[in-house]
């Protein structure tokens, strides 16, 4: 038992030094060859398969599984990557239990779907670990496209455009490319530097320049990009974070969950990352779960996730909720924060229970907290953007914005469901429409 | 509980499950384990004349797999026993002495001359063995030397050797037939003419299981080369069943006892062979795949089935299906069925649709919600949808009631039997009267 286990406040090294590697190891260790063959054997090769329909990127899942089963994993990888260039990351982070695996007929038949996500990882890892890039650029078109944001949407768009023969300049505000793949996903979902390795592998297509530390509205402007390039794709995601609206939320120790997750991903030694003894996470999506689980993994004694509605309304999948529960996270529902208490730094956070219509019940809950993570949604940042729909950039089915020559996709654009895989699909589809527009 | 005791050409065994002449019956050690596990009898691996043959020192087997590496077919290039004759005879005697209630049959293969047969038969008789099986089936290696299938493919040789053997022993003689011929009845008739007490079939089928695509050589590969082997296991069962039935339903061979061999893996396989005319069955590949314990399932399964059918002895099952094996031209063309999909069981995989739409009669409809249904106007009841469906009993074939109209043809389903011999499209049709 570590001596710091019960220490109040925010401190690093709550666990024995040797414990961190295990805590943050791969959530789903990769299938070995035997496991992959056994898993692949279960696929029925359905006609017009429901799993394909359920995949936002329309990967031909029965075909790639058959290719694994017949001993050609690299052909399987090409089947995956031709539809979804970030098939490696999606294999790790997709909520498959709500997508392909939920639709699998063996889920209906036996309650046990084919392990599509893990098989996808088997195939893509097999190809990518050899450093092979299976696509080649078409003859140069002489057209130049700017892509803002090096996350899943931007990189997917950039790769497809480069493949079609265009020259692509990618700009990203952060020091490293990858977007949420690099900064926004729990460490145990993509360990061992996979996000950067995937970007490097993707860039092998050629024809893409990467400019990091380049923020829209600062180093670059939409107006300037429109003047310098034949087309612009906006895929910069959501840079802002919603406020709690609770009294005292400016106290020390009240932090954005996305920053906590990003810090963890960039940390070279988890033992150096400070964490509270009593941690409260507010929110009900993947970000909230990722923050809560990792707080627990870092050694927080008590981690409570508080969501304003019922469990059935949480954006986090049942799998994610169960994962959090299995790690010891307590989930409280139907409660909204009203006040953060403490002298300078948070000591307690107070909630009011609400009914199904979000009306206060007068019943209160106070939780000890030396650290509070807000994960109640992110917002679009920036001025001089194309017209919005709600709080996001309005796009049509092809990803076109209100401004001629400007497309958008991923979390910053309207529609979609804020998943990596939908961002990849939107980037890819916008690229095809840009290509059609530029070369006719 | 049903009585599984078996008497085959006078040889008694506690159940009808024998191990076939093959690697599992090559030594005392294995056969003791088999008897301890419950096998009713064995056919000891084929003995020959010393000096003993030699086997290759590389892979002897090749395999075909189904899903999850389930072994469906096994090919072998092993020869007859490679141990000295005297050693085998001693062991046979010892085991028979210790297990007097089990069937002990000895497989034999010697050159196609009378003297070697006259030499070996008294030696076998002296062990106390219950009978002999003449290996006229082994298709590899030994056949190159004029034995095994080289004899089994020439009915005159079968008759000749069988006659020699019958003249030299009082033991029951079972003649094991090769399937590598055009008409299985010819060698069976030859065995009958030679005086055989029974035939056993099938021996293995000439085969190359696979090709090593790096070495460009057949598998199993011995130093870069491969030779054809003998194929067995579940994959050959349909071929074996047909050959057993061909003999059983031939009027001239109807009294010839048959020991059924070929892919028997479960009690059900055994029951099928027996219903088609086998008096007992011999098993090899299933034991080589799963070990001797499988006989327990065969015993319990066959007992339960016989109890359900109110059968008290194996004899009541023997030949039960033979009267229903007929020629195609005797099938009732007025029998009309339609496929029916049980929507409660359907898991919407759509394999029936793909099979029917792409390769058959476009008789299955698929709606936007992935509900699959049969289009009776198009369905010819071919059964392919049933065969490709992954769910048991989800798709069934339902016979149409006489008097109703078949929507495919617009014709009324006739109540009477009518076959091809009287069909108007048959140029050689004979009048129905």
Find chain A residues with C-beta within 8 A of B357's C-beta. 47
**What pLDDT, on a 0 to 100 scale, did the predictor assign at position A438?**
97
SS3 state at B42: strand
Interface check for A41 against chain B (CB to CB < 8 A): the answer is: yes
Find chain B residues with C-beta within 8 A of A71's C-beta. none
> What pairs with residue A345 in β-bridges?
A252
Give the position of tokens 């295990």.
Answer: A22
Q: Cβ separation of A50 and B348 shorter than 8 Å?
A: yes
**What pLDDT, on a 0 to 100 scale, did the predictor assign at position A38?**
95
Of A38, A45, A108, nearest to B348 by CB-CB distance is: A108
pLDDT, tens digit, 9 for 90 and up, residues B146-175: 888 899 999 999 999 999 999 999 999 999
**What pLDDT, on a 0 to 100 scale, did the predictor assign at position B138?**
86
β-strands A240-241, B6-8 pairing:
unpaired
- Closest C-alpha among B244, B301, B230, B309 to residue B276: B244
pLDDT exceeds 80 at position B246: yes
How distant, in Å, are the alpha carbons of A247, A249, A330, A371, B18 from that of A341?
8, 9, 21, 12, 83
- What is the nearest CA distance from B215 to chain A, expressed in angstroms? 17
> What pairs with residue A348 in β-bridges?
A341, A368
Q: How many residues does chain A have?
A: 440
Question: From CA A6, how far away is CA A281, in angstroms rounded?
Answer: 19
Mutate to test the interface with A, among B71, B370, B371 (most CBs of A within 10 A): B370
- What is the nearest CA distance from A260 to chain B, expressed in angstroms? 44
How distant, in Å, are the alpha carbons of A2, A43, A342 from that of A367?
24, 48, 12
Smallest CA–CA distance from B348 into chain A, residue: A105
Smallest CA–CA distance from A39 into chain B, residue: B68
- What is the nearest CA distance from B349 to chain A, expressed in angstroms? 5
- Closest C-alpha among B312, B188, B194 to residue B259: B188
Find chain B residues with C-beta within 8 A of A44's C-beta. 349, 351, 390
**What pLDDT, on a 0 to 100 scale, did the predictor assign at position B142?**
86
Interface check for A48 against chain B (CB to CB < 8 A): the answer is: yes
ipTM of the complex: 0.85
Mark the ranges of chain A whose per-residue pLDDT is less than 70: 1
Question: From CA A438, how far away is CA A168, in angstroms rounded?
Answer: 13
Higher per-residue pLDDT: B278 or B143: B278
Phi, psi of B29 (to 5 degrees): -60, -50
Cβ atoms of A29 and A394 closer than 8 Å: no
| All structural domains of chain A | 10-25+241-378 (3.50.50.60), 33-128 (1.10.1060.10), 144-238+380-439 (3.50.50.60)
With an 8 Å Cβ cutoff, the interface of chain B facing chain A consists of 67-69, 347-351, 353-354, 357, 366, 370, 390-391
Find chain A residues with C-beta within 8 A of B359's C-beta. none
pLDDT, tens digit, 9 for 90 and up, residues A63-109: 999 999 999 999 999 999 999 999 999 999 999 999 999 999 999 99
Of B69, B350, B391, nearest to A47 by CB-CB distance is: B350
Q: Cβ separation of B349 and A48 shorter than 8 Å?
A: no
Of B68, B347, B391, nearest to A41 by CB-CB distance is: B68
Residue A299 burial by CB count (10 A; 0-12/13-18/19+): exposed, middle or buried?
buried
Find chain A residues with C-beta within 8 A of B372's C-beta. none
pLDDT, tens digit, 9 for 90 and up, residues B103-115: 999 999 999 999 9
Mutate to test the interface with A, among B72, B343, B349, B362 (most CBs of A within 10 A): B349
Interface check for A109 against chain B (CB to CB < 8 A): the answer is: yes
**Reduced 3-state DSSP string for chain A:** CCCCCCCCCEECCCCCCCHHHHHCCCCCCCCCHHHHHHHHHCCCCCCCCHHHHHCCCCCCHHHHHHHHHCCCHHHHHHHHHHHCCCHHHHHHHCCHHHCHHHHCHHHHHHCCCCCHHHHHHHHHHHHHCCCCCCCCCCCCCCCEEEEECCCHHHHHHHHHHHHCCCEEEEEECCCCCCCHHHHCCCHHHCCCCHHHHHHHHHHCCCCEEEEECCCECCCECHHHHHHHCCEEEECCCCCEECCCCCECCCCECEEEHHHHHHHHHHCCCHHHCCEECEEEEECCCHHHHHHHHHHHHCCCCEEEEEECCCHHHCCCCHHHHHHHHHCCCEEEECEEEEEEECCCECCEEEEEEECCCCCEEEEEEEEECCEEEECCCEECCCCCCCCEECCEECCCCCCECCCCCEEECHHHECCCCCCHHHHHHHHHHHHHHHHHHHHC
Of A41, A46, A109, nearest to B67 by CB-CB distance is: A41
**What pLDDT, on a 0 to 100 scale, did the predictor assign at position B255?**
96
**Reduced 3-state DSSP string for B155-191:** HHHHHHHHHHHHHHCCCCEEEECCCCCCCCHHHHHHH
Cβ atoms of A299 and A5 closer than 8 Å: yes
Domain boundaries, chain B: 6-324, 328-422
Question: From CA B154, how far away is CA A434, in angstroms rounded?
Answer: 76
Give residue B431's pLDDT band: very low, low, confident or very high (50, 70, 90).
low
Of A48, A108, A109, nearest to B350 by CB-CB distance is: A48
Measured from the Cβ of residue B154, the count of other Cβ atoms closer than 10 Å reads: 17
Q: Cβ separation of A46 and B350 shorter than 8 Å?
A: yes
**What pLDDT, on a 0 to 100 scale, did the predictor assign at position B143?**
87
Smallest CA–CA distance from B354 into chain A, residue: A47
Of A45, A48, A109, nearest to B347 by CB-CB distance is: A109
- Closest C-alpha among B188, B204, B171 to residue B92: B171
Q: Cβ separation of B390 and A47 shorter than 8 Å?
A: no
Question: From CA B363, how far away is CA A205, in angstroms rounded?
Answer: 47
Give the position of tokens 């035939």.
Answer: B199
Question: From CA B202, how far away is CA B273, in angstroms rounded?
Answer: 11
Q: Cβ separation of B351 and A48 shorter than 8 Å?
A: no
Question: From CA B367, how far away is CA A51, in angstroms rounded?
Answer: 17
pLDDT exceeds 70 at position B239: yes
- What is the nearest CA distance from A120 to chain B, expressed in angstroms? 19
Cβ atoms of A168 and A148 closer than 8 Å: no
DSSP B308-337: HTT--BGGGTTTTTGGG---GGGS-TT--E
Q: Cβ separation of B68 and A45 shorter than 8 Å?
A: no
Find chain B residues with C-beta within 8 A of A37's C-beta. 69
Q: What is the mean pLDDT of residues B85-107?
A: 98
Find chain A residues with C-beta within 8 A of B72's C-beta. none
| Structure token digits, residue A268 | 């070279």
Q: Cβ separation of A48 and B366 shorter than 8 Å?
A: yes
pLDDT, tens digit, 9 for 90 and up, residues B323-370: 999 999 999 999 999 999 999 999 999 999 999 999 999 999 999 999
Of A38, A49, A108, nearest to B68 by CB-CB distance is: A38
SS3 state at B343: coil
Of B68, B354, B370, nearest to A50 by CB-CB distance is: B370
Mutate to test the interface with B, among A37, A39, A42, A47 (most CBs of B within 10 A): A47
CB pairs A-B closer than 8 Å: 35
Question: From CA B385, how far away is CA B365, in angstroms rounded?
Answer: 12
**What pLDDT, on a 0 to 100 scale, did the predictor assign at position B421?**
94
**What pLDDT, on a 0 to 100 scale, did the predictor assign at position B177?**
97
Q: How many residues does chain B have?
A: 433
DSSP B21: S
Q: Cβ separation of B349 and A44 shorter than 8 Å?
A: yes
Find chain B residues with C-beta within 8 A of A105's C-beta. 347-349
Question: From CA B428, how far away is CA B433, in angstroms rounded?
Answer: 15
| Structure token digits, residue A35 | 């496991």
Pick the CATH number of B6-324 from 3.30.70.20, 3.20.20.70, 3.40.50.970, 3.40.50.2300: 3.20.20.70
Contacts of B285 (CB under 8 A, 6+ apart): B71, B74, B232, B233, B234, B263, B265
| Structure token digits, residue A127 | 């190809």
Burial call A219-249: b when 16+ CB within 10 Å, e when fewer: ebebeebbeebbbbbbbbbbbebeebebebb
Give the position of tokens 């596990």.
Answer: B37
Burial call A145-171: b when 16+ CB within 10 Å, e when fewer: bbbbbbbbbbbbbbbbbbbbbbbbbbb
- What is the nearest CA distance from B348 to chain A, expressed in angstroms? 7
Question: From CA A384, how far away is CA A348, in angstroms rounded?
Answer: 41
pLDDT, tens digit, 9 for 90 and up, residues B3-27: 999 999 999 999 999 999 999 999 9
Find chain B residues with C-beta within 8 A of A50's C-beta. 348, 370
Find chain A residues with C-beta within 8 A of B347's C-beta. 105-106, 108-109
Give the position of tokens 């999948």.
Answer: A317
Say which CATH topology domain B328-422 has.
Alpha-Beta Plaits (3.30.70)
Smallest CA–CA distance from B350 into chain A, residue: A47
DSSP B53: P
Q: What is the mean pLDDT of residues B313-331?
A: 97
Give the position of tokens 């059964």.
Answer: B383
**What pLDDT, on a 0 to 100 scale, did the predictor assign at position A329?**
97
Catalytic positions of B, written as ranges? 138
């Amino acid at each position: 038992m570590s001596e710091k286990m019960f220490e109040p406040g925010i401190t690093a090294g709550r666990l024995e030094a040797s414990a961190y590697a295990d805590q943050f190891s791969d959530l789903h260790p990769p299938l070995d060859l035997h496991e992959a063959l056994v898993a692949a054997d279960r696929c029925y090769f359905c006609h017009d398969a429901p799993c394909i329909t359920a995949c936002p990127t329309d990967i031909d899942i029965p075909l790639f599984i058959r290719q694994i089963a017949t001993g050609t994993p690299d052909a399987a990888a090409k089947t995956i990557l031709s539809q979804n260039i970030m098939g490696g990351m999606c294999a790790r982070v997709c909520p498959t239990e709500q997508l392909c695996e939920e639709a699998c007929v063996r889920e209906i038949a036996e309650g046990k779907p084919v392990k599509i996500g893990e098989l996808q990882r088997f195939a893509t890892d097999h190809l990518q670990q050899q450093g092979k890039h299976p696509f080649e650029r078409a003859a140069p078109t002489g057209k130049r496209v700017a892509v803002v944001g090096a996350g899943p949407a931007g990189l997917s768009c950039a790769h497809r455009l480069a493949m079609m023969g265009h020259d692509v300049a990618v700009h990203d505000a952060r020091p490293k490319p990858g977007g949420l793949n690099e900064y926004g996903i729990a460490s145990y979902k993509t360990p061992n530097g996979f996000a950067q390795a995937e970007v490097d592998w993707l860039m092998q297509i050629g024809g893409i320049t990467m400019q990091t530390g380049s923020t829209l509205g600062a180093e670059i402007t939409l107006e300037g990009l429109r003047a310098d390039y034949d087309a612009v794709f906006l895929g910069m995601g959501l840079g802002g974070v919603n406020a709690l609206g609770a009294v005292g939320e400016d106290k020390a120790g009240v932090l954005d969950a996305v920053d906590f997750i990003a810090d963890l991903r960039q940390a070279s030694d988890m033992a150096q990352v400070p964490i509270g003894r009593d941690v409260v996470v507010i929110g009900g999506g993947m970000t909230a779960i990722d923050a809560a689980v990792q707080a627990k993994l870092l050694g927080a004694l008590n981690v409570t996730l508080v969501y304003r509605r019922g469990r059935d309304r949480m954006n986090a999948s049942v799998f994610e909720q169960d994962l959090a529960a299995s790690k010891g996270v307590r989930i409280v529902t139907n409660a909204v924060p009203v006040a953060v208490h403490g002298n300078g730094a948070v000591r307690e956070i107070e909630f009011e229970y609400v009914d199904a219509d979000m009306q206060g019940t007068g019943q209160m809950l106070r939780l000890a907290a030396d650290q509070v993570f807000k994960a109640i949604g992110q917002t679009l940042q920036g001025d001089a953007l194309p017209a919005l729909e709600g709080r996001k950039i309005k796009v049509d089915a092809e990803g076109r914005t209100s401004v001629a020559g400007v497309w958008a996709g991923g979390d910053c654009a309207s529609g979609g469901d804020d998943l990596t895989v939908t961002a990849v699909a939107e980037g890819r589809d916008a690229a095809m429409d840009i290509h059609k527009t530029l070369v006719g | 509980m049903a009585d599984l005791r078996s008497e085959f050409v006078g040889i008694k065994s506690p159940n009808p499950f024998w191990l076939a002449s093959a690697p599992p019956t090559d030594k005392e050690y294995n056969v003791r384990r088999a008897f301890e596990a419950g096998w009713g009898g064995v056919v000891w691996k084929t003995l020959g004349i010393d000096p003993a043959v030699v086997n290759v020192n590389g892979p002897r087997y090749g395999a075909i797999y189904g899903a999850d590496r389930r072994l469906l077919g096994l090919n072998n290039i092993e020869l007859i026993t490679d141990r000295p004759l005297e050693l085998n005879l001693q062991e046979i005697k010892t085991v028979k002495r210790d297990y007097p209630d089990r069937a002990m049959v000895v497989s034999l293969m010697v050159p196609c001359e009378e003297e070697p047969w006259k030499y070996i038969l008294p030696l076998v008789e002296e062990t106390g063995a219950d009978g002999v099986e003449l290996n006229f089936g082994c298709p590899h290696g030994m056949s190159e030397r004029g034995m095994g299938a080289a004899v089994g493919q020439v009915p005159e040789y079968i008759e000749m050797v069988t006659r020699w053997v019958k003249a030299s022993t009082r033991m029951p003689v079972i003649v094991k037939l090769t399937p590598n011929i055009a008409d299985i009845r010819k060698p069976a008739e030859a065995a009958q003419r030679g005086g055989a007490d029974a035939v056993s079939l099938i021996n293995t089928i000439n085969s190359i299981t696979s090709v090593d695509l790096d070495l460009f050589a057949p598998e199993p590969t011995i130093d870069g080369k491969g030779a054809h082997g003998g194929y067995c296991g579940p994959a050959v069962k349909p071929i074996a069943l047909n050959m057993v039935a061909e003999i059983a339903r031939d009027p001239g061979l109807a009294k010839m006892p048959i020991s059924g061999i070929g892919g028997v893996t479960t009690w059900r396989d055994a029951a099928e062979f027996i219903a088609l005319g086998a008096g007992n069955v011999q098993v090899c590949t299933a034991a080589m795949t799963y070990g001797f314990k499988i006989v327990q399932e065969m015993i319990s399964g066959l007992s339960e089935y016989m109890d359900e059918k109110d059968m008290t002895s194996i004899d009541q099952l023997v030949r039960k299906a033979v009267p229903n094996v007929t020629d195609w031209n005797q099938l009732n063309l007025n029998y009309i069925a339609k496929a029916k999909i049980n929507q409660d069981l359907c898991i919407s995989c759509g394999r029936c649709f793909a099979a029917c739409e792409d390769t058959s009669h476009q008789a299955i409809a698929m709606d936007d919600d992935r509900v699959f249904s049969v289009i009776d106007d198009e369905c010819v009841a071919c059964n392919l949808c049933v065969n490709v469906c992954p769910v048991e009993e989800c798709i069934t074939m339902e016979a149409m009631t006489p008097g109703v109209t078949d929507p495919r043809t617009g014709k009324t389903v006739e109540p009477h039997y009518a076959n091809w011999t009287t069909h108007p499209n048959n140029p050689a049709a004979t009048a129905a009267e």
